[in-house]
Structure formats: structure tokens, C-alpha cells
Amino acid sequence: MAVQSRYSRVHCLRRSLWQHKLKAGSVVGVLITAFLLLEPPAIADLSEENRQYTADLLEDWRAGEVVVLLRHLERCDRYDLPCLTDKEGITSRAIEPGRALQEDFSQLGLGNTDIFNSPMLRTAETEAIVFADQGEDRDWLINCHDNLLGDVMANKRPGRNLALVTHSRCIKRFNEALGYADESPGYGAALFFSTADDPKSLQVLGFLDQEDWEMALGF
């Protein structure tokens, strides 16, 4: 009887520990699920599995319904490299990817596009290379205050695309305002949004890194 009693106690203890492990595992699973549900979604990479959305981008661009935020090219003050003009501007080696982007946007067509840039030297130099110095300075593309989304919508004219050359911090804040993850884009990355469904709001189309235009759009 003593042996059976000891066995029963051990069995109950093991069973209790197993139940606690199951409960702990369930709690961890619930917490992970909750975290994933609460985590803001990331903007889709149009060069990867979301390439099917490029047709929407091209259609909306032709209709003048697109807002594109372009991060400036490689800034010179963070590298021990020759600068295009000054440390506050972009590197000399950024000219080549800049000219590639110029060709890409030319392929899209800029006849119905308004172009604005932050007045800082690195964004002004980027605009000059990519958009042939057709843009206009806008202070709200430096400050990136809480009304950035409102500023963008106020400057989006019906039937005309809006191209904005700005900074990573502004793009991150813009993404946050739309409920998306505040991931930092690479130099020369372009993020595309559309007003096709509702002229008073933006639908996220996706982003393209500078080197991925040909893969995604065939340019």
C-alpha cells in the first residue's frame, strides 16, 4: 500500500506539472498571437510575391491617382566618400542609381505629375537628378510634423500624380499615420499610394527599392 501511495503521489505530481506546462504554453501562444495581431502591417514589396499589384500601380499612374514618396539618394555625411557637391548633399556614386530612377520615372511618364521636394541639399540634389530639376521646395517635407498626411492630401490634385522627394523619418511618420509599420526605407526607395478608390484617402500599393524597378515593372 505504501508503494502504491508513493506511486500515486508521483503520478499526480507529474500530471500537475504537465498541466502547468500546457497552460504556460497556451498563455505564450495567446501572447504571440495577440502580438502579431497588434503589430502594424508592413507595406508590400512589389518586386517579390506582390508583383501582381503592379498592374494597379500602372493603371492608377496613368489616371493621375498616385502619390509616391521617394527617399533621397545616398547621403554623403555618413560615408567617407566623395560628395557630389557638399557633405550635406549626396555622394558622387549616387549619380548612377539616380539616373536609373530618372529613366524609370520617365518610363512611367511625368506629364501629369506634380513634383515637390524637401529643400535640404540631399533631397534637392536627388530631385535634380531624378526629376530633372522640375520640382518645387516644400518646407513640410523637412519638418514632417503630425499633419504630414494632411499636407500630402491637400497638395494632391485630381487627375495628377504627386511625387515627393523626402527623408526616411518623414516616410516612417507617414506610414505610421496610415497604420503601417514604421520601417526605414533604403536610399532611393519609392513608396506608392493611390487615391483611385477614394480621392479623400490613400490606399497603399507597395514599395520598390531603387534596384528593383526592372524586375517589378519591366523597365
Q: Would the pLDDT of 186 be above 50?
A: yes
Q: Would the pLDDT of 49 be above 70?
A: yes
Q: How far apart are CA 82 and CA 91, in angstroms?
A: 6
Give the global pTM.
0.82
Kindly state the average pLDDT of the residues 202-215: 94
Q: How far apart are CA 147 and CA 144, in angstroms?
A: 8
Q: Would the pLDDT of 31 be above 80?
A: no
CATH of domain 51-217: 3.40.50.1240
Q: How far apart are CA 210 and CA 101, in angstroms?
A: 7
Q: Identify the burial level of 180 via C-beta atoms within 10 angstroms of its C-beta, where 0-12 means exposed, 13-18 middle and 19 or more buried.
A: middle
Q: How far apart are CA 131 and CA 102, in angstroms?
A: 6
Beta pairing partners, 66: 194
